[in-house]
Every structure is written in C-alpha cells, then in structure tokens.
C-alpha cells in the first residue's frame, strides 16, 4: 500500500485526573476530543503538520510537536521508517488546563502510529499503547481513561501499569469552569510536599474509597467524596483563582475539584449546576468559561 493512501484518523478524549482525593490514581474520560490524521508524503518532501483549534497558534510545526515527536520516537524504537509524514490535528482539548492534553497527544500518536505501521505490513503487535504512554507520562491516571474511556483506577506493580475500569453512575453530570490562564503540570507538582501528616493520609484514603462508591453507586455522596487532603491546598499559590472558586462552590454544596493539575475546575452533580457556578465564577473579574461536557465511555479509537 502506498503510504499516501494509508491515512489513519484517531480520536482521543480529554481526561480529568484525581477527582479530588484520587491523586495520580483515579481518572475520568470526558467528551472533549482531539482528532489526529496521519498519512505519508511523497519522498523528497519534509514532514508537514496542520493544526486547527486548541494550540493552533502556539504548538510547534516540527518534530518537537508532541504527537509527531512521539510517532517518530516510536518508529525509531521499532526500527521502522516510512519517510516524510503528514500530521493533521483538530483539537478541542485545551492545553495547560489540567484536562490531559499531553496524555491525549501521546495516546493519539501511539495509536495512529501503530495503526499506520500495521497497514504498511509491519509487525507492531508488541506495541502496548497503555504501557508506553504511561511510561512517557510517568503515571497512568490520565492515560488509562484516555485509552479505555469511562472511569479508571490505575497503579503500578512489578514494573507494569495496571488498571481497573469502573462504570460511572448514569445520573452524574460534568461541568467545567475553564479560566483564561494555563499552568504547567511540573510547576504544580513541585509544590506538593514530600511528606504529609498521617491524619491527612487517613482522611484522604477514606475519601478516595468513598469516591469510588459515590461515582458508581450513590452520587448523593459526591460532595464529601471529592474532598481532598493531599494536593490541592498545597498548590493554591499556583492557581489562587481556581482554588477560591473550588472553595466557594463547595460551600454552596457543589462537588467541585481542581481538574488534574489545574487550573480548570470540574464539578460533578446530578442536577444542572451552571447557574450557581456561573454566578460564583462572575465574581472573578477575569471570569471562567463554563461549559457542560459528557463522560466519554469509548476511549481512544480509530475512526
């Protein structure tokens, strides 16, 4: 098959990690998606990257682009060379907001790269997208829901990443409040202390266990289930507007949390919280973009 005729399009969802107390271990796939199309180009030309939507004005157009760079690294590791490539990205997932954009980019790259190589007749059966993407991210909390959809608990054991898939309660609705600022995950992670008080560890363990019950069985417990004692308050200097909004929403009875490393805020409910959320968010002079989204149940897929 001619590489120019072997275009592959994949769709990957945004994700939110932690859901309050489930730090680096619990994640949920969301309805915002990125679409990536990979095809070959004629010999003698160079790689080409087209980007529409989120990041179009800021992402690089060479192999430092996360998707293309990941594909190129995958092919080097597998001893493959398909010549110059054409990458087309249509992005809905905001960058630097704690919605798993880097995990989604890596998963999209691995899935598209693997499928493209497979269509060229290459043996890529040994490529495990979940394992490789989790290695690249350093933790699987965003990768697991991106690959498999729904709600996931993930952990490492004996050098391998593992996951358990959960079915979220059908009554749960998701609302996002996205500010006009961005935050580096590395910056946010560096603010968490190396040690925390034992009583906070106990509280966080209890809330994480409750989180599983609330999301799968009894959503009336979402407010206490999403209370965190491990990371959000330590990061508040990196996202003061976000932290203030989370606190105000929780005082009004809404199960709000920082989405991943932030600064987006995510709210879980069984009723429509937009009026309350918009009212509180308007108190910030810069404002937040408030939007509904769905829970994605399919995960990454080849279209």
Other residues' Cβ atoms within 10 Å of the Cβ of residue 185: 19
Sheet of 173-178, strand order: 255-258, 265-269, 173-178, 289-293
Residues 152, 167 contacting (CB under 8 angstroms): no
Q: Is 95 annotated as a binding residue?
A: yes
Q: Is 73 annotated as a binding residue?
A: no
Q: Is 99 annotated as a binding residue?
A: yes
Give DSSP secondary structure letters for 144-155: HHHHH-SEEEEE
Coil/strand/helix, residue 53: strand
Nearest to 53 by CA among 17, 101, 124, 7: 101
Q: Is 262 annotated as a binding residue?
A: no
Residues 263, 95 contacting (CB under 8 angstroms): no
What whole-number distance in Å separates Cα of residue 147 and Cα of residue 151? 11
Residues 86, 38 contacting (CB under 8 angstroms): yes
Q: Is 205 annotated as a binding residue?
A: no
Q: Is 104 annotated as a binding residue?
A: yes
Q: Is 184 annotated as a binding residue?
A: no
Q: Is 103 annotated as a binding residue?
A: yes
The tokens of 92 are what?
Answer: 């809905």
What sections of the chain are H helices per DSSP? 66-78, 101-119, 129-137, 143-148, 185-189, 198-216, 222-225, 240-251, 274-281
Q: Is 45 annotated as a binding residue?
A: no
- Binding-site residue numbers for ATP are 94-104
- Binding-site residue numbers are 94-104
């Amino acid at each position: 098959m001619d590489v120019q005729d072997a275009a592959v399009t994949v769709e990957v969802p945004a994700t939110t990690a932690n859901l309050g107390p489930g730090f680096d271990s619990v994640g949920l796939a969301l309805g915002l998606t990125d679409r990536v199309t990979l095809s070959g180009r004629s010999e003698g030309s160079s790689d080409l990257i087209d980007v529409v939507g989120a990041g179009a004005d800021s992402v690089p157009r060479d192999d430092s682009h996360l998707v293309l760079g990941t594909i190129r690294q995958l092919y080097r590791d597998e001893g493959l060379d398909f010549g110059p490539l054409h990458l087309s990205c249509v992005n809905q997932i905001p960058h630097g907001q704690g919605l798993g954009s880097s995990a989604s980019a890596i998963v999209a790259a691995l899935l598209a790269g693997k499928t493209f190589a497979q269509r060229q007749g290459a043996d890529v059966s040994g490529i495990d997208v979940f394992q490789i993407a989790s290695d690249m991210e350093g933790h699987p909390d965003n990768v697991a829901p991106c690959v498999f959809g729904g709600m996931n608990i993930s952990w490492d054991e004996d050098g391998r990443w593992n996951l358990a898939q959960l079915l979220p309660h059908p009554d749960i609705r998701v609302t996002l409040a996205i500010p006009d600022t961005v935050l580096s995950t590395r910056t946010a992670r560096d603010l968490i202390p190396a040690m925390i008080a034992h009583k906070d560890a106990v509280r966080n363990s209890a809330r994480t266990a409750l989180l599983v019950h609330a999301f799968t069985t009894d959503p009336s417990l979402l407010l206490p289930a999403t209370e965190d004692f491990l990371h959000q308050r330590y990061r508040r200097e990196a996202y003061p507007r976000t932290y203030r909004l989370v606190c105000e929403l929780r005082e009004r009875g809404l199960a709000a949390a920082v989405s991943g490393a932030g600064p987006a805020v995510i709210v879980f409910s069984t009723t429509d919280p937009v009026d309350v959320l918009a009212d509180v968010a308007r108190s910030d002079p810069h404002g937040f973009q408030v939007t509904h989204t769905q829970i994605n149940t399919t995960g990454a897929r080849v279209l």
